[in-house]
A and B are shown apart, each in its own frame.
Chain A
Amino acid sequence: MATAVGAGAQSRRWQDIFEERRFLGPLLIAPALIFIALLVGAPLILAVYLSLTDATAGGLTGEWVGFQNYLDAWDDPIFRRALRNTVIFTLVSQAIVLVGAGFLAHALVRDFPGKWFFRFLVILPWATPVALSTVAFLWLFHPLYGVVNWTLTHDIVPGSPAFYPYEALNWAFARDFWPSWIQISPIEPIDPPQWLGEPNLAMAAIIFAHAWRILPFATVIFIAGLASMPPEVEDAAKIDGATGLKKFWYVTLPLQLPIALVALLFGIVFTATDMTVVYILTHGGPFNSTHMLTTWAFDTGINSAALGQGAAISLYLLPALAIVAILMLRFARKAEVT
């Protein structure tokens, strides 16, 4: 009898905790926080520790070497190249994505017949697992059987005179007045471009494949921003006679800037830290010319088993991530105030 009463009081006390906001809130959040601390926080700290040691794939510990790994990485020309590639990859692909998503979102936020179908087509690259769609790009860029080279070297417009796209490309870009990174050597149909076998072409292919898959995501975020624009603003702009470009520049753009920034910050993180596209398309080749920090860290840390060295290479990404995180935090606070 006494025990039953005791148990009753016990469960009563537990129930009280569930009714009390003060306790219930932290109680519900705690599992998530512990989980994240164990699976994100701890490995991150471990990565920093490893980068300061000469640990190899054999164990979790090594001799303390201070910043030697960071200095060694910095002195390596492949690392420098990878760092430069990562910056170019991120900036160029994000520029393409921002402009493209801006246009696309503006067109898709309006209603027009068949919109659902176009939206389905636009979403496809985002929904496809990235490792698999990148394999499809290997096939698109295949030097012998790929559709890109087939189209370049065949008469694709019916009727005469014959029109070969590669001739148009040669006419436009195989000229001396272009800077060296734009100028192309003339394309010969018997020796079509090795898209993934030449450093500059391979970088272009990587940037294209990545922009292709990020564009739908950025578009979706932009559409969200446009959809949340209060209709009164639209009406006010109409009354003031703002239309077309003027409206875009003075009304839509300032209102869109916050959401565009969110999309951009995400894009930067997803691009600078992406490994999949480069790993599958070129694996850093030819001759280590298209490595990113991520693939170089993978090759060093996993394939060459230099755990500490690899950790140091990947941690060069941390300052960029920290800047993005700070911007996002400031941004969220600002959004809260208004």
Chain B
Amino acid sequence: MGRYRQNITSYLIVGPFAIVLAFPFYWMLITALRADNDLYDIEQVPFKFNADSPTGANFRFLFEQTDYGKWLINTAIIGAAVVLITLVVALPAGYALARLSGKWGQGVGVGIFLTYLVPPTLLFLPLSRVIAELNLHDRLWSMILVYPSFTVPFSIWLLMGFFKTIPPELEDAALVDGASRLGALARVVFPLSVPGILTVVIFSFSLVVNEFVYAITFISSTEAKTISAGVPTELIRGDVFYWGALMAATLIPAIPLALLYNVFLNRFIAGFTGGAFR
């Protein structure tokens, strides 16, 4: 009986929140599938399909009449490059801060993390000039160069948390067995930290997909935009709105990212809080 009551309490609290938080996605989905003669007829009930709905026309429009496909590719290229740079820089640093650096390591770790709090909105003005001086304006390189500035501090913090959960005795054992420190790292620590590294990959990539301020500052040509910059600046023009296509454009990256977040959520929590605040 008590168990039932508890369950019902949980539903009563979580239910309303879930409705408010998820309703916009229902609204996006139904809009993305509605035909124009249904969407822009105020006599129709907007929660269901009427007239020529449902239709795939909005998705077709998005890929055939706009540069959305190009933006997806740009985002993937930048994401992959930034994640690679991030891992090369953050993996050794995260490991060293967790293991090798003793007392001052904690201080440096927190210091690096604080730089994650310096927002793009403080840095975009000077960086816009630097990018212009380097002739990187309108080129994907501008974002590949600058985005690690927020993925690296964030990833070092997460990796520090992960490496701390791997017992140092395992490495010591490998060292005693005659392995070099780098050898122990490659053969003992690395395999154990794969889940943590994957978490860092997912969340760094999603930070790249999310970025907006730098993207609209550095890029003005349509072909070089990411989805976050392209959709709001190119598909919303004056009074011409392609709402069906806009909602399709939002759902396409949102659903896979949400699924990935759910898979890696527990590890994210472990890394995020494992760093220090404990």
Please give the residue numbers on chain A whose beta carbons come within 8 Å of chain B beta carbons, in ascending order: 15, 18-19, 21, 24-29, 31-33, 35-36, 39-41, 43-44, 46-47, 50, 55, 57, 59-60, 100, 103-104, 106-108, 110, 112-113, 115-116, 118-140, 142, 144-145, 147, 150, 212, 215-216, 220-221, 223-225, 227-228, 258-259, 262, 269, 273-276, 279-280, 294, 297-298, 301-302, 307, 310-311, 314-315, 317-318, 321, 324-325, 328-329, 331-332, 335-336
Taking a contact as CB atoms under 8 Å apart, the answer to whether B258 and A124 are in contact is yes
B277 touches A262 (CB 8 A): yes
Asked if B14 contacts A129 (CB within 8 A), the reply is no
For the complex, what is the distance from the CA of A127 to the CA of B259, rounded to whole Å? 9
B1 interfacial contact with A, CB 8 Å: no
Chain B interface residue bracket vs A: 35 or more
Residue of A24, A55, A112, A132 touching B231 (CB-CB under 8 A): A132
Which residues in window 112-169 of B have CB below 8 A to A? 112, 114-115, 117-130, 133, 145-146, 148-149, 152-153, 156
Tally of A-B Cβ pairs under 8 angstroms: 299
- Given the interface pairs A104-B13, A134-B232, A273-B121, the reply to whether A36 lies near B262 with Cβ below 8 Å is no
Q: Do residues A113 and B7 form an inter-chain contact, with CB atoms below 8 A?
A: yes
Known contacts: A127-B257, A132-B249, A140-B27. The answer to whether A317 contacts B112 by CB under 8 A is no
* B1-16, CB < 8 A from A: 6-7, 9-11, 13-15
> Beyond A24-B100, A302-B125, is A122–B17 a contact (Cβ under 8 Å)?
yes
Tell me which residues across on chain B come within 8 A of A335, comparing CB atoms.
276-278
Contacts of A115 in B (CB 8 A): 10
| A residues less than 8 Å from B272 (CB atoms) | 221, 224
Give the complex CA separation of A228 and B272 in angstroms: 13
Given contact pairs A29-B92, A29-B108, A31-B89, A145 touches B46 in the complex (Cβ within 8 A): yes
Q: Are B123 and A47 in contact (CB under 8 A)?
A: yes
In the complex, identify which listed stretch (B48-56, B57-65, B189-197, B209-217) lies at the interface while the others stay far away: B209-217
In the complex the two chains form, is A273's CB within 8 Å of B119's CB? yes
Given A25-B100, A123-B265, A329-B114, do A131 and B247 touch, yes or no (CB 8 Å)? no
Given A29-B96, A224-B272, is A24 in contact with B121 using a C-beta cutoff of 8 Å?
no
Chain B residues with CB under 8 Å of A59's CB are: 129
Q: List 16 A-B contacts (CB under 8 A).
A: A27-B96, A28-B95, A36-B115, A50-B125, A60-B129, A120-B258, A127-B258, A129-B206, A131-B210, A133-B250, A136-B24, A220-B269, A279-B212, A298-B124, A307-B125, A335-B276
Q: Kindly report which residue of chain B lies nearest to residue A36, judged by CB atoms.
A: B115
Within 8 Å CB of A273, what residues of B?
A: 119-122
- Mostly helix, strand, loop or mixed at chain A's interface? helix
| Given A220-B269, A329-B114, A121:B180 Cβ within 8 A | no
* Residue from the list A35, A134, A262 in contact with B148, Cβ < 8 A: A35
CB of A198 to closest CB in B, whole Å: 19
Residues of B within 8 A of A15 (CB): 180
Cβ contact within 8 Å between B122 and A44: yes
Most B CB contacts (10 A, CB to CB) among A55, A124, A127, A142 go to A127
B253 interfacial by beta-carbon distance below 8 Å: yes
Q: Which residues from chain A contact B110 at a C-beta distance below 8 Å?
A: 328-329, 332
| Contact of B125 with A311 in the complex, beta carbons under 8 Å | yes
Apart from A39-B145, A138-B236, A335-B276, list 13 A-B contacts with CB within 8 A. A18-B182, A32-B93, A35-B148, A36-B112, A107-B13, A119-B265, A128-B250, A131-B231, A132-B249, A212-B24, A314-B122, A325-B114, A335-B278
Q: Is the CB of A128 within 8 A of B22?
A: no
